[in-house]
Amino acid sequence: MSAGLLIGFALFVAGAAAALAQLWLQVWSPETFIKLMATDGVLLALVVAATFIWRERRETERLRNRDQLD
């Protein structure tokens, strides 16, 4: 399993846990909760994008190296 997948899943779980905590316990003020969820969403999007870019870059390098060997 890649590090990006693990980090992305951890961010998703943290967001879900925060949402449930806010729903049942009202831990934060509404403004703070929205800021936390926005931050979690942006971080999740960055991790997903970085993981995709890293995977594509690795695949491109693999294909280039295969072409040089032929």
Q: What number of other Cβ atoms are within 10 A of residue 46's Cβ? A: 13
For CA atoms 25, 29, 35, 36, give the dihedral sign: negative
Per-residue pLDDT of the chain (70 residues; tens, 9 = 90+): 789 999 999 999 999 999 999 999 999 999 999 999 999 999 999 999 999 999 999 999 988 887 665 5
What whole-number distance in Å separates Cα of residue 30 and Cα of residue 44? 21
Question: What pLDDT is stored for residue 47 in this prediction?
Answer: 97
Q: How many domains does the chain divide into?
A: 1
Question: What pLDDT is stored for residue 70 in this prediction?
Answer: 52
Nearest residue to 32 via CA among 44, 42, 45, 22: 22
Q: What is the domain range of residue 59?
A: 3-69
Question: What pLDDT is stored for residue 68 in this prediction?
Answer: 65
Question: What pLDDT is stored for residue 25 in this prediction?
Answer: 97
pTM for this entry: 0.86
